[in-house]
């Protein structure tokens, strides 16, 4: 058990909330930042809540003061692609640098930054094998606003810490699509996809494959990267296994929950046409027929990380959505 003080940015988000729970379970003292404390965001007893946004300096000095570690999970992952890419670029890059600057000035030992597989596996096709932490997305390619924002933000973070000398350590976590139990009505984009599958929002399933990881395992990996000597100056790709098709997801959920979940495939042309009128489908179009192979062997080898089976995570995602009447 530890009595060290940790700041979790973005504590109202799904990942941030699970990071808070993981830290409290190990005896850490925890603070968190949220954009608007007046919205009644529920946090566990004893967790200090500070108002702070990625786009301005207000509140950050107070939130970080006295902290031993920072888990920077706050980010934007919109369901609909923004009209202007700067709506993602500026908060991602400048927000990360803002947190790092304040953490360095406050004497924080290590920052763990939530990056994404989006900063690893885009714009470098055709890729000959398995994506690992050695890979970087190419922001000069046509990869979309979100992968570009995560790539540039993570690059900027590593450059900043390199320029800071020995003053502070950095680790980054690069999760694939995150699923797992929700703790309230705030849903990640990946969980919304599962929600639509189960709620009847899809007549069939696009022919896309995604690697998945449980939010609880991603939270555990943040804590491992924060507390382990071996975690410093490392990237860790987080996945529960290789990519799984949406048809396989549907089959798992139908087999284990008995629900009337679609398992038939929709023609690619139907998804492409529908995306013209349904902006939330736009991000799916480039993924049609694409399978990206991934590995989290590094996190398992260096940190002893052991993620849950993806089938269990899918089922628990749906059960939690039912618990909060979100289906």
| For residue 151, pLDDT beyond 90 | yes
Please tell me whether residue 299 adopts helix, strand or coil conformation: helix
Q: What percent of the chain has pLDDT over 90?
A: 66
* Predicted pLDDT at 210: 92
Check residues 76 and 6 and name the one with the higher pLDDT: 6
Q: Answer whether 0.85 is exceeded by the pTM.
A: yes
| For residue 62, pLDDT beyond 70 | yes
User: What are the chain's domains?
Assistant: 5-187+213-244+293-311 (3.40.50.720)
16-21 contacts at long range (C-beta below 8 A, 24 or more positions apart): 16/71, 16/73, 16/74, 17/43, 17/183, 17/184, 18/180, 18/183, 18/215, 18/216, 18/218, 18/219, 19/71, 19/73, 19/219, 19/222, 19/223, 20/44, 20/47, 21/219
pLDDT band with cut points at 50, 70 and 90 for residue 78: low
> What average pLDDT does this structure show over 218-223?
98
pLDDT band with cut points at 50, 70 and 90 for residue 80: low
| For residue 29, pLDDT beyond 90 | yes
| pLDDT digits 0-9 by tens, 177-204 | 999 999 988 888 789 889 988 887 778 8
Q: What does the alpha-carbon distance between residue 96 and residue 90 come to, in Å, rounded to a whole number?
A: 10
Of the candidate ranges 111-115, 235-239, 242-246, 277-281, the one whose mean pLDDT is the lowest? 277-281
């Amino acid at each position: 058990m530890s009595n060290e003080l940790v700041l979790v940015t973005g504590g109202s988000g799904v990942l941030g909330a699970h990071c808070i729970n993981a830290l409290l379970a190990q005896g850490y003292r925890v603070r968190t930042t949220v954009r608007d404390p007046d919205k009644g965001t529920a946090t566990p007893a004893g967790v200090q809540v500070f108002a702070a946004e990625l786009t301005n300096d207000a509140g950050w000095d107070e939130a970080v003061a006295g902290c031993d570690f920072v888990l920077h999970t706050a980010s934007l992952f919109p369901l609909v692609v923004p009209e202007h890419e700067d709506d993602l670029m500026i908060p991602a890059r400048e927000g990360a640098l803002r947190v790092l600057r304040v953490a360095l000035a406050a004497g924080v030992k290590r920052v763990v930054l939530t990056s994404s597989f989006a900063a690893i596996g885009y714009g470098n096709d055709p890729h000959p094998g398995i994506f690992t932490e050695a890979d970087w997305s190419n922001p000069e390619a046509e990869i979309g606003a979100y992968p570009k924002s995560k790539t540039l933000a993570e690059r900027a973070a590593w450059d900043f810490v390199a320029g800071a000398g020995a003053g502070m350590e950095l680790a980054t976590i690069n999760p694939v699509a995150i699923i797992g139990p929700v703790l309230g009505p705030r849903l990640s984009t990946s969980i919304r996809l599962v929600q639509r599958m189960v709620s009847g929002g899809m007549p069939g399933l696009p022919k896309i494959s995604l690697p998945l990881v449980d939010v609880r395992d991603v939270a555990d990996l943040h804590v491992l990267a924060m507390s382990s000597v071996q975690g410093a100056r490392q990237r860790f790709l987080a996945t529960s296994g290789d990519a799984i098709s949406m048809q396989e997801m549907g089959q798992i959920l139908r087999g284990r929950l008995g629900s009337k979940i679609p398992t038939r495939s929709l023609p690619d042309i139907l998804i492409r046409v529908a995306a013209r009128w349904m902006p939330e489908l736009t991000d799916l179009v480039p993924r049609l027929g694409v399978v990206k192979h991934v590995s989290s062997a590094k996190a398992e080898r260096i940190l002893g990380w052991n993620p849950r089976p993806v089938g269990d995570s899918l089922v628990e995602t749906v059960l939690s959505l039912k618990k909060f009447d979100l289906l």
